[in-house]
A and B are shown apart, each in its own frame.
Chain A
Amino acid sequence: MTTNPMHQFEVYRIGPEINLGDINLSFTNASLFMAISAISVLSLLFFGTKKKSLIPTRMQLITEMSYTFVAKMINDTTGSSAKSYFPFIFSLFMFILFCNMIGMLPYSFTVTSHIIVTFVLAAIVFIGVTIIGFVKHGIKYLELFVPKGVPVALLPLIIIIEIISYLSRPVSLSVRLFANMMAGHTMLKVFGGFVISLGLLGGWLPLGFSVALTGLEILVAFLQAYVFAILTCIYLNDALNLHH
């Protein structure tokens, strides 16, 4: 029995090959699971808010809870000035959460375990926040790189360090999500492989580990979506309220 634990991350084409010039635009399993996540979020919100009753049904309760959860998160970290960015952060959070959670189902594919997906999400946040900062504060936004109370002699060094720190935001944001999802799923697969190779006698211990790891992975799946969203809020806060 040789099962490659990395095999689950393979992207393959579904349906016909579509080429636009040199760019391969074929529909892959990654695109399929992204579409499934987006559709599940939309249908949850659509059916959850269809029949608005005073005593909520389960669907309505989940929808309302996710709304208040994100609204509270934005309010706690950014204050009321970020209310207008609620739709963006809400869709980001729900999309990542559903991608992670759908990836936990057997035979499915975890979209967020590919760095290009998470990096694009982080780059959208990073570029968006930078644009918001410059629109809101103009050239004064560059003061973000100049901390107060630093001697002039040290300024050139500090500014470079601050710029590196600023540029590392999308990298840390994307690597965190990608690494957690990939490491977790690889680990699950490795322990699953142990169950098979150790057989009926020794396989019970790794089986127990697999069960425990599944619980941990569900926690991580939620936590990473939460961390991604809350860091987006923090970066937004830096751009909106410019002070250290």
Chain B
Amino acid sequence: MKDLKEITTRLEIAKKNIKKTEDNNKGSNAAAFGKALKISTELVAAVFVGTIIGFLLDSWFDTKPLLIICFFFMGVAAGILNVFKSAKRMHEKL
């Protein structure tokens, strides 16, 4: 009977240790790496999409260089907005 009690306490201690290491691993390198890749592409993709929209509208309305310039900068703004949003989401999770 005594042995069983001892085993239970030892098990509990071991389980606690497992949980501790799991908690420590949460902000591990792999997750940070994933976040970095995620944010960088978000920044670039919005600029790309903005420029494409500007280019299409330009060839539609025949206003060659004007709209592509405007939408390029709006794409930059959208990219920063994307990064801001995902950074905020990360902050909420912590």
- Residue numbers in B under 8 Å from A160 (CB-CB): 74
Q: Which B35-76 residues have C-beta < 8 A from chain A?
A: 37-38, 41-42, 44-46, 48-50, 53, 71, 74-75
CB within 8 Å: A-B pair count: 66
Write the residues of chain B forming the contact surface with A, with a CB cutoff of 8 angstroms: 30, 33-34, 37-38, 41-42, 44-46, 48-50, 53, 71, 74-75, 77-79, 81-82, 85, 89
Q: Are the CB atoms of A161 and B45 closer together than 8 Å?
A: no
Write the residues of chain A forming the contact surface with B, with a CB cutoff of 8 angstroms: 157, 160-162, 164-165, 167-169, 171-172, 175-176, 179-180, 219, 223-224, 226-227, 231, 234
- Residue numbers in A under 8 Å from B81 (CB-CB): 161-162, 165
State the Cβ distance, A167 to closest chain B Cβ, in Å: 5
Q: Are the CB atoms of A219 and B49 closer together than 8 Å?
A: no
The SS class assigned to the B binding surface is helix
- Residue numbers in A under 8 Å from B45 (CB-CB): 168-169, 171-172, 175
Q: Are the CB atoms of A176 and B78 closer together than 8 Å?
A: no
Given A167-B49, A167-B53: 10 more A-B contacts, CB < 8 Å:
A157-B74, A164-B53, A168-B42, A171-B45, A172-B42, A172-B45, A176-B37, A179-B41, A219-B33, A223-B34
Between A and B, 17 residue pairs with Cβ closer than 8 Å are A157-B74, A160-B74, A161-B78, A165-B85, A168-B50, A171-B45, A171-B48, A171-B49, A172-B41, A172-B42, A175-B44, A176-B38, A219-B30, A223-B33, A224-B37, A226-B34, A227-B37
When C-beta atoms are compared, the residue in chain B nearest to A180 turns out to be B37
- Residue numbers in B under 8 Å from A172 (CB-CB): 41-42, 44-46, 82
3 A-B pairs with least C-beta separation: A172-B45, A164-B78, A168-B46
